[in-house]
Amino acid sequence: MEKLRIGVIGTGAIGREHIKRLSERIVGCETVAVADVDRDAAERVASLCGAKCCESGEELILSPEVDAVLVASWDATHAKYVLAAVAEGKYVFCEKPLSPETKDCERILEAESALGKRIVQVGFMRRFDSGYRALKAAIKSGVIGNPLMIHACHRNMTHAATMTSEMSIKNAGIHEIDIMRWLLEEEYVQGQVLLPRQNGISRKENLQDPQIMLLRTESGVTIDVELNQSSGYGYDIQCEAVGEEGTVRLPDPATVVTRARGACSFEVRPGWETRFTEAYDIELQQWVDEVKADRITGPSAWDGTVACHTAVVLGECRESGEIRGISYPHCPDFYKNMF
Amino acid sequence: MEKLRIGVIGTGAIGREHIKRLSERIVGCETVAVADVDRDAAERVASLCGAKCCESGEELILSPEVDAVLVASWDATHAKYVLAAVAEGKYVFCEKPLSPETKDCERILEAESALGKRIVQVGFMRRFDSGYRALKAAIKSGVIGNPLMIHACHRNMTHAATMTSEMSIKNAGIHEIDIMRWLLEEEYVQGQVLLPRQNGISRKENLQDPQIMLLRTESGVTIDVELNQSSGYGYDIQCEAVGEEGTVRLPDPATVVTRARGACSFEVRPGWETRFTEAYDIELQQWVDEVKADRITGPSAWDGTVACHTAVVLGECRESGEIRGISYPHCPDFYKNMF
Amino acid sequence: MEKLRIGVIGTGAIGREHIKRLSERIVGCETVAVADVDRDAAERVASLCGAKCCESGEELILSPEVDAVLVASWDATHAKYVLAAVAEGKYVFCEKPLSPETKDCERILEAESALGKRIVQVGFMRRFDSGYRALKAAIKSGVIGNPLMIHACHRNMTHAATMTSEMSIKNAGIHEIDIMRWLLEEEYVQGQVLLPRQNGISRKENLQDPQIMLLRTESGVTIDVELNQSSGYGYDIQCEAVGEEGTVRLPDPATVVTRARGACSFEVRPGWETRFTEAYDIELQQWVDEVKADRITGPSAWDGTVACHTAVVLGECRESGEIRGISYPHCPDFYKNMF
Amino acid sequence: MEKLRIGVIGTGAIGREHIKRLSERIVGCETVAVADVDRDAAERVASLCGAKCCESGEELILSPEVDAVLVASWDATHAKYVLAAVAEGKYVFCEKPLSPETKDCERILEAESALGKRIVQVGFMRRFDSGYRALKAAIKSGVIGNPLMIHACHRNMTHAATMTSEMSIKNAGIHEIDIMRWLLEEEYVQGQVLLPRQNGISRKENLQDPQIMLLRTESGVTIDVELNQSSGYGYDIQCEAVGEEGTVRLPDPATVVTRARGACSFEVRPGWETRFTEAYDIELQQWVDEVKADRITGPSAWDGTVACHTAVVLGECRESGEIRGISYPHCPDFYKNMF
C-alpha cells in the first residue's frame, strides 16, 4: 500500500519528536512537508528529514502532496490549523489541547459535524497506554463492581520555568481530565481545586504547586487528582479506581529491582518521554493505519472540547476554592456514544 | 515488681478482648475487677478471669484493690467513668472516642489539668503500630521534605448492621483524624466531606458509603481520606504522605505471595483485629509499664478532644457538602507541645 | 532509503509471526519471497503477503530480489540454509538454535570467519528485552559489585505434546544459556542437571519436568536455572544476579494491580508471545537497520555455537546427574571480544 | 497460676537476650538462676535481673528452685547440659544446635526416649515466624499442588571475624536445614555444596563465601539454599516453594515505602534480631505455657539431631564438591510422626 504523506505544522520539540517517530517507528508513512512560524527552524528540520518546507501552516494544508496533517504548533494556534484542515477535508491529528478556549473548540465541532465525517483526532496518547487500557478493561470486566471513586496523581520531576498554576491544570491536568472520563465513559458535573501547602523548594511566582483537582461525574463518581509539578523524585503517574467490590490500579513501569546499600529499590525515571513511549507509537501507528483505511476512532474533537472546557472551569475556580458546577457546550448528535 | 491491678468497665466484645490480652500477652498486670451494665455478662466474665464483679463502674473505680481503670463501655458513658477515675486520681485508659460530645471532653480537660498530672490515656492504638511509627520517623527524617499532602484510605470489608454515615466518621474516621495530626504534629483548620456515588451492593438506609473526608492543617497540609465501610474485598488501611521531595507510604502487611491460577497475589484479610494485633499489645504493655512508673506518654485527653471535635464538625457539614472552618475548645497550657 | 527485501524460509507458526511483524511493525523492509518444505503452506502464505513462493530454501537464497534471508524452518535444517546464505554472501537471520549439533555450528563458524565479515545473526531475542538490558546495565554499573551467582527460572504454563526432557533444555534452556553468558560476558566451564520430583499432574513419557540446570563460568559464577515446562499458573521468567554488594533482579511485567475477593493480585499471562513482543520488535528492527547499514551487531554464530554445545553437554549428562566439565570448539579469532 | 522459674545457662549475648525477653515480654515466668563459665559475667547478669548465680550449669540444673532450664552456652557444651537436665527430669530449652556432633545428639535421643516423655526443645525459632507458618499452611492447603522444589537464600549483612566455611553451614545453614524439612515434613536423602566465586570484598581465610547447599528429600523435592555471609546490603531471608500448580514465597518484612531521589524503595535492615523478634517471643511464650501445662510440642531432640547430622555431612563434602547420600542415626519410635 502507498505511504501516507504527512505534513507537520510546528517544528519545536514535540513536532521534531513526532517527525522522528514517523520516520523510525511508524510503518506506512512519510513526512513530506513541514511548516513553522520560525521559518529557519522549519528549514533545518525540512532538510534533515527530506521534506518540503512550506511558507505557512495554511500553505502546507493546501499542498496537494500532503495527505494528512499533524499539528504540533503553539497551543493557541491549534484551532485555526485544525479548522483549515477540516475546510480542506484532510485528516488532522492535533496535539492536545485542541484549543485553550472553549469557543474555538465549538467552531471545530460545528465544522466537523457539518462535514459529517470524523477527520479530527486529538493527541491524548494515554488512551493508547497498555496500563490504562488494562485498567479500563478491568473496570469493564466488572471485577470491581461499579466504580465509585478514582484516586490519581500526576507528578512531574520539576517544572519548566514558564509553568503557572493555570498551566498545571491546562497542560498536565488535561491528560487526567481526558483519561478519567474515558475510563468511566461519563461527563463531569462538578469541579473544585484544593490548594495544599506550597512546595517551598520549588517555589515560584504564579505557580501554586501542588494542586488537587476534584471532579464529580454524572453518576456521582468522585475523582481526586494530585497535580504536582515538582515531585522532587521523578515522573510518576498513579491511578486507582475504587468500585463496589474492589479496586484496580495502574502499575509502576517494570524496572529492575535492586537490593543494595540497605534497601530494595527500583528506579523512578525523571522524564515523561520514556513513560509513554510505547503509547505514542501505538497512537500514531493506529492513526496512520486508520487514515489510510478512511475511518478514524481515536480521541475526537468532542473529547478535545470537553477536556478544554473542564480545564477552563477549573482554572477559573481554582483561586477561590469554591465548588463549581460544570456544563458543557452543546454536543452535536454526531459525537454521541463515541467513548 | 508488683503486678498492676486493673479494673475493666465494659465486658462487651472489646472489653473481653482487652481482658484476654492483659492476661495472655501483657507482662506485669492482672485484671482484678470488672463491671458492666449487663450484670449477668459481667458475672460470667468475672468468673472466667477470676476477677471480682462490681455493681457498677463507679463502684469499681472506688475499689481499693483497683490500681488503674480501663474503660471499654458504650461510647456515651466513656466520659462519666473517666471523670470518676480522675476524681479518684486513678490512671484510666479509655477506649476511643473519649466521648462523642465535645462538651464532655472539655470537662475531662478541666478536671485533669486541675489535677496537674496526666492520668487519662485514649485508645488510639494506631500510634503504636510499627508501620505508622516508621511513617512518622520517615517524615521527621526529612527524606520527603516538608509534608504537603496525605492521601489515605480506611476500608472495612463490610459494615455492621447499625452503621450510619455519621458513625462511619465518628468510629472509623476518628482513627484517621487522630493519626494524621499525630503524623504531622499540627491541628486542623478546615474540613469538608465528599459524598461519592453510593455503593449499590451494600446500600442501606442512613448510610452514605463511601465518603471522603478532606482536612486542612494550620500549615496548609491537605489530607484526603477515603472512608469505605464496604470495600468488598478486605480490611485495608492505606496512607501516603507526599512532601516537597518525595513520598512515604504505609506498607501492606507482610503476607506470603502466591503464584497460582494465572495470578501473583497476596491475601488481604477481612478483619481489623489481625491488622493491629501487635499495636494493641504494645499500647497496653506500654501503658502498664508507664502507669507503674507513674508517668504516661500515650494519647492524651487533649488528643481525644481534638479527635472528637473534628469528627463532630465533619458530621455536621457532611450532608451539605460545604467547606467548614474548624476551631477547637481552649487548649489548657497543660497539654501544649505534647505530640 | 530503499526497503530491505527479505526472504523467509519456513512458514510455520514462527515464520508467519515474523512475516506479520516485518509487515506491520518493522520500518524499512518487505517480505518478497517465502519457501517451505510444505509447498502448499508456503503458497498460502505467499499469496497472503504478496511475496513470491520459491521451490526451496536454496532457490530463495539464490533469488536476486532477495537481499537478506530469515530462517525459521525446522531446527535440524537451520545450518544448511545458513551455510547456503553465507556461501552467497547474504545476511541471514537464523531462529535459535543455530543448529542442534555442535558440528554443524563449527561449519558455520568456518564459513563465516573465512568470509571475514559478520553476516549471520541468531534469534536470541531476550538480549533485546528492556528488562535484561537494564539487568546487564545494572551489573556493569557496579552497583552489586562483581557477580557471584545467578538464580533464574524459566516457567512455561504447559508443555507441548511433543516436549521431551532434552528438548526442555535445547529449546527453553538454550535461551537461559545464552542470556546468562551475555549478562556475565564469560564462558561456562562446568554443568550439571538436577532432576527434582516429577510433576505428577503434567506427567508424560520422555519428559522429566521440572529440571534444574547448574552452570559454572570461568570466574566461578554459579548459575541455577529452574526449567519448568508446566508451572500450572503462567509463563514466568525470573532472573536474579547476586553480587558482592547486592542483587539485581528482572521485574515482573507491568500489569494492573487488583484488590478484590480477599486478595491483591496481578495477572501472570500464560503465553510467551506477549512477554517478549517488544524484544522481537526491537531485534528485527535493529537487524533490518543494521543490514541496510552493512554492519550487524546482534547475537553471532559463535553465540549460537556456544549455546548449542552447552545444551548438548547438559543433554548428555542430565540422566546420570553427574557434574560435567564443558569445553567448546575452537573459537576463531574473528569472534573474540564480541559480547 | 504460679510463675515458671527458669534457670539460664550461658550469659553471653544470646543468653542475656533471652533473659531480657523472659522478663519484659513473656508472661508467667521469671529467671531465678543463671550460670556461666565466666563467673564474673554470670554475677553481673544475676545481680541485674535479681537471680541467683550458680557455680556451674550442673548446679543450676540441680537447684530445687529451678523448674526449667534454658541452655544458651557455647555450642559444644549444649549436649552435656541437656543430658543433665534430662537426667533430672527437668524441661530444657536448648539453643540451636542441639550439638555440633551427631554422636552427642544420639545420646540425648536415648536418654529422652528412655524417659518416655518429651522434655527437650531446640531453639529453631523460625518455626514460630508468621511468614514461615503461612508458607507451610499454603503448601498444606494444596494451592500449589505437591511441592517439587524450594529456592531459598540466607543472607547476612556481614560475617563475624570468627566465621568459617563450615560454621556458615552449621550456624546459619542449620536454620535452613531445619525449616525446609519442617515445611515439607520429609527427611533428606542427598546433599551437595556448590562453591561459587568468592566474594572478593569480604575475603577472609577459612571462609568460602557464598556457598550453595543442595538437598534432596525422600520424595525427590530439590532444595537450593544460597548461604551468603556478606550480602553487603542487609539481612535477607528468602524462600520460595515451587509445586505442581504454582509457587508460594515468604514475603519481605513490611516496611514503609519511600519514593525519593529517583527511586521507590524500602529498607532492608542489617540485623537478624529485628527480623525474627516476634518469632522469638512466640517461641518462648509457647514454651513457657506448654511447660506449665506439662506437654511440649516445639522442635524436638530428633529435629535437633537431623539438623546437626545434615550439617555435619554437608560440612564434610563441601570441599570436594561431591554429591553425597545422607543417612541418619536410628530414629526411636518415640519421635516418629512428630512434624
Nearest to D227 by CA among D241, D207, D242, D252: D207
Query: Is it the case that residue D151 has pLDDT exceeding 70?
Result: yes
What would the pLDDT profile of B134-183 be if each residue is shown by its tens digit? 999 999 999 999 999 999 999 999 888 889 999 999 989 999 999 999 99
Q: What is the pLDDT of residue D73?
A: 97
- How does residue C5 score in pLDDT terms, banded at 50, 70 and 90? very high
Residue B229: band (very low, low, confident or very high) from pLDDT cuts 50, 70, 90: very high
What mean pLDDT is predicted for residues A203-226? 96
Report the residue from C231, C259, C269 with minimal CB separation from B233.
Answer: C259
Mean pLDDT of all residues in chain B? 96
Q: Does the N-terminal peptide bond of residue A64 adopt cis geometry, omega within 30 degrees of 0?
A: no
Are the Cβ atoms of D263 and A261 closer than 8 angstroms? no
Instruction: Number of A to D CB contacts under 8 A, please give it.
Output: 51
- Kindly state the cell numbers that stand for D98: 542441639
| pLDDT (tens digit per residue) in C300-310 | 999 999 999 99
At residue C292, what are phi and psi to the nearest 5 degrees? -65, -30
- Would you place residue A207 in the very low, low, confident or very high pLDDT band (cuts 50, 70, 90)? very high
- What is the distance of C-alpha A279 from the center of its chain? 11
Q: Using the predicted structure, report yes or no on whether residue A337 has a pLDDT greater than 80.
A: no
> Do C113 and C177 share a structural domain?
no
B50-99 pLDDT per residue, tens:
999 999 999 999 999 999 999 999 999 999 999 999 999 999 999 999 99
B315 and B264: one domain? yes
Compute the CA torsion angle C70, C73, C76, C81 (nearest 10 deg).
Answer: -40
pLDDT tens track for B199-219 = 999 888 999 999 999 999 999
Structural contact between residues B79 and B98, judged by C-beta atoms closer than 8 angstroms = yes
In a domain, A238, yes or no: yes
Asked if residue A66 belongs to a domain, the reply is yes
pLDDT digits (tens, 9 = 90+) for C206-263: 999 999 999 999 999 999 999 999 999 999 999 999 999 999 999 999 999 999 999 9
Identify whether residues C47 and C118 lie together within a single domain: yes
Of D138, D253, D285, the CB nearest to B258: D138
Residue at grid coordinates 518540503: A52
All residues of chain B having their beta carbon less than 8 Å from the beta carbon of residue A194 are 214, 216, 222
- Confidence label for D337 from pLDDT (cuts 50, 70 and 90): confident
Same domain, A144 and A232: yes
- The alpha-carbon gap from D277 to the nearest alpha carbon of chain A, in Å, equals 19
Q: What is the pLDDT of residue A336?
A: 85
Of A195, A246, A321, the CB nearest to B232: A246
Q: What is the pLDDT of residue B23?
A: 95
Q: State yes or no: pLDDT of B1 exceeds 80.
A: no
Q: Would residue A326 count as lying in a domain?
A: no
Note whether C32 and C61 are same-domain residues.
yes
Inspect the interface and report whether the beta carbons of D210 and C148 lie closer than 8 Å: yes
pLDDT digits (tens, 9 = 90+) for B13-49: 999 999 999 999 999 999 999 999 999 999 999 999 9
Contact C246 D226 (CB under 8 A): no
Q: Check CB contact of C267 with chain B, cutoff 8 Å.
A: yes
Are residues D321 and D186 part of one domain? Answer: yes
Check if B321 contacts A (Cβ < 8 Å). Answer: yes
**Chain D residues with CB-CB distance to A262 below 8 A:** 233-234, 267-270
Q: Which of A253, A272, A291 is the last residue of a domain?
A: A272
Do the domain assignments include residue A308? Answer: no
Which residues on B lie below 8 Å from A212 (Cβ)? 149, 222, 224
Q: How far is A219 from chain C (nearest CA, A)?
A: 22
Question: Is the pLDDT score of A110 beyond 80?
Answer: yes
| Residues D71 and D113 occupy one common structural domain | yes
CATH of the domain at D56: 3.40.50.720
Provide the shortest C-alpha distance from residue D19 to chain B (in Å). Answer: 14
- Judgement on whether residues A112 and A149 belong to the same structural domain of the protein: no
Residue A236 maps to a domain: yes
Does residue C235 share a domain with residue C89?
no
Chain A hits for C26, Cβ within 8 Å: 27
Residue from B231, B265, B275 whose CB has the most chain C CBs within 10 Å, to mutate: B265
Domain count, chain D: 2
Angstrom distance (rounded) from CA A106 to CA A111: 9
Query: What pLDDT was estimated at residue A159?
Result: 86
Residue D138 has pLDDT above 90, yes or no: yes
Mutate which: B146, B190, B197, vs A, most A CBs within 10 A: B197
- Looking at residue C1, its pLDDT comes to 60
Distance from CA of D80 to the nearest CA of A (A): 41
pLDDT of residue C77: 97
Q: CA–CA separation, B289 vs C226, rounded Å?
A: 52
How do residues D194-208 score in pLDDT, each as one tens digit?
999 999 998 889 999
Cα angle: A136, vertex A142, A144; to 5 degrees: 85
pLDDT tops 70 at residue D298: yes
Per-residue pLDDT of C130-141, as tens digits, reads 999 999 999 999
pLDDT tens for residues C140-155? 999 999 999 999 999 9
Q: Which of C236, C259, C270 is nearest residue B259 as measured by Cβ atoms?
A: C236
Q: Which domain holds residue D142?
A: 127-270+305-335
Interface residue D195 vs chain C (CB under 8 A): yes
For residue range C161-183, what is the model confidence (pLDDT) as tens digits?
Answer: 889 999 999 989 999 999 999 99
**Which of C158, C195, C240, C244 to mutate to probe the D interface, most D CBs <10 Å?**
C244
Could you tell me where the beta strands, DSSP code E, fall in C120-256?
Answer: 120-122, 147-155, 188-194, 211-217, 222-228, 236-243, 246-249
B143: contact with D, CB 8 A cutoff: yes
CB contacts, 8 Å: A218 with chain B: none
Phi, psi dihedral angles at D268 (to 5 degrees): -110, 115
Counting as contact any 3 or more CB pairs under 8 A, the partners of C are A, B, D
Query: The dihedral of CA A92, A96, A99, A104: what is its sign?
Result: positive
Cis preceding linkage at C329, omega within 30: no
Chain C interface mutation, best of B259, B266, B269, highest count of C Cβ atoms under 10 Å: B259
Domain at C147, CATH number: 3.30.360.10
B249-302 residue pLDDT tens: 999 999 999 999 999 999 999 988 889 999 999 999 999 999 999 999 999 999
Share of chain A above pLDDT 90, in %: 94
Residue D1, pLDDT above cutoff 70: no
pLDDT in tens, D2-14: 899 999 999 999 9
pLDDT band at A1 (very low <50, low <70, confident <90, very high): low
pTM of the model: 0.96
- b/e map C74-112, b = 16+ CB within 10 Å: ebeebbbbbbbbbebebbbbbbbbbbbbbebbbbbbebb
- Smallest Cβ distance to B254: which of D25, D26, D254? D254
- Residues C24, C106 within the same domain: yes
Mean pLDDT of A117-146: 98
Concatenate the DSSP letters of all residues of A103-164 into one string. Answer: HHHHHHHHHHHHHTS--EEE--GGGG-HHHHHHHHHHHHTTT-SEEEEEEEEE-SS--TT--
d(CA D123, CA D131): 17
Count CA within 13 A, CB hemisphere, residue C129: 28
The answer on A86 and A189 residing in a single domain is no
Residues of B in contact with C265 (CB under 8 A): 263-266
D166 lies in the same domain as D117: no
